Structure 1
Amino acid sequence: MRSHQTKMMILVALFAAITAVCAQISFSIGPVPFTLQVLAISLTGMLLGRRWGTVSVIVYLLLGVMGAPVFAGYQGGLQAIAGKTGGYLLAFIPAVYVIGLILERGKISVWKAFLANLLGLLIIYAIGASHLKLILNLSWEQAFLFGVMPFIIPDLIKIVFASSLGVIILKRLVSAGFPVQTKHMQKNTA
């Protein structure tokens, strides 16, 4: 039990770091930068599950809120959460939880992973665009045009990649005896 928790805490820290690195691979295309965070969140939910994935995202967000430059553009501090992209950041919590929840039940497949990641992406868009609308005083149409539309195709590509890669990694981790999400999932992934 203790060994499992230690391994999972290491993975929590690793995926918080991966999310931070993916945030720095960015460029601006309007009020919301293009990053690889959706890829990181998808893999976090898939590989760590709802419980540990959520903990990893919370660790990432707390590091940022405390001032560590882990958000896009090496930003950190509470102002990043209160700013125009804060809704997207906060949406990572329910998104990773839902991705993990779906994938912890039943057999894992790339198709199921894609659908879970798509739902997670829709959660990110809904919360992020709503926050963007409020912060910048935009119409719903403007919030969609600035905060969702430019990202749809790239994000779909990211979740297809994450779904395929995640299933491969899950199968290899399970065959190597590494703890993955839940024991129920271990039986159904092999």
Structure 2
Amino acid sequence: MYNSNSKLRVIIICGIFAAITAILAQIEIPLPIVPISGQTLAVGLTATIIGSRYGAVAMICYALIGAVGLPVFAGFKGGVQVLIGPTGGYIIGFILTAYVTGLILEKTRFTVPMAMIANTIGMFITLIFGATQLKIVLDMTWGQALVTGVYPFIVVGLIKAFLASWLGITVRRRLVQARLITQPIKG
């Protein structure tokens, strides 16, 4: 992947995955406080396909694009108020989730079973960040934060972890075969 245009290629790849996250964020099932959205599927796909460093960079780009006001967060929302609001912890958690998920795969193997383990761990990282911010911003007890921000998302999160693993590994293999990325992506 790395030739004279490598930096530009990395910027483009991170931008593409930030855009995919913005698009999937608009697929949502409304719930009272925290909607179920496609964002977490996008985070898992990103980390599974492009790995830890660039996955985290893509999520930083996504958060920054939303922070400046572009409507890239779930429900076509944007602005710093989303990041510091009740659901902002999930978005901030995407950064560490992408890094850890990608790192697990880089340290082991890019296979569907390993991706499922990595994406499941990533799911819980996102949920922990989200529940923590819910607790703080809405002055909830830990029990209330778990009932509101974790428990409703575990089953659907496992489904998204599977989809991210299966689709991510499939796409990654094709990109490696096409020599568009290396195994693993290294900077």
Interval of TM-score (by shorter of Structure 1 and Structure 2): over 0.9
Counterpart in the other structure of 1:107: 109
Of the three residues 33, 36, 39, the one matched with 1:37 is 39
Counterpart in the other structure of 1:144: 146
How far 1:46 sits from its partner (Å)?
A: 1.0
Which structure shows the bigger proportion of residues in helix conformation? Answer: 1
How far 1:179 sits from its partner (Å)?
A: 1.4
Verify: 1:71 aligned to 2:38, yes or no: no
Tell me if structure 1 keeps the 8 A contact 2:66–2:73. Answer: yes
Alignment partners' CA distance in 1, 2:39 and 2:177: 28
What residue ranges of structure 2 are gaps of 5+ in the alignment? none
Amino acid at match of 1:43: L
Alignment partners' CA distance in 2, 1:107 and 1:75: 36
TM-score (norm 1): 0.92
Alignment partners' CA distance in 2, 1:113 and 1:164: 8
Amino acid at match of 1:40: A
How far 1:106 sits from its partner (Å)?
A: 3.5
Partner SS, residue 5 of structure 2: helix
How far 1:88 sits from its partner (Å)?
A: 0.5
Tell me if structure 2 keeps the 8 A contact 1:170–1:180. Answer: no
How far 1:62 sits from its partner (Å)?
A: 0.5
RMSD after superposition: 1.4
Counterpart in the other structure of 2:12: 10
How far 1:119 sits from its partner (Å)?
A: 0.8
Alignment partners' CA distance in 2, 1:183 and 1:38: 21
Q: Give CA deviations for 1:62-101 in whole Å, capped at 9, x if unaligned.
A: 0110000011111111100010001001000100000111
Alignment partners' CA distance in 2, 1:183 and 1:136: 40
Distance 1:148 1:183, change over 3 A: closer
Tell me if structure 2 keeps the 8 A contact 1:48–1:180. Answer: no
Verify: 1:59 aligned to 2:68, yes or no: no
Partner SS, residue 107 of structure 2: coil
- Count of residue pairs brought into register by the alignment: 184
Amino acid at match of 1:44: T
Distance 1:78 1:181, change over 3 A: farther
Residues 73-92 of structure 1 correspond to what in structure 2 (within 5 A)?
Answer: 73-92=75-94
Partner SS, residue 2 of structure 1: coil
Identity of aligned residues (%): 43
TM-score (norm 2): 0.94
Q: Give CA deviations for 1:134-187 in whole Å, capped at 9, x if unaligned.
A: 111111111111111111111110110110111111111111111146368xxx
Distance 1:20 1:76, change over 3 A: same
Tell me if structure 2 keeps the 8 A contact 1:20–1:71. Answer: yes
How far 1:127 sits from its partner (Å)?
A: 1.0
Displaced runs of 4 or more, over 6 A: none
Amino acid at match of 1:45: A
Verify: 1:22 aligned to 2:24, yes or no: yes
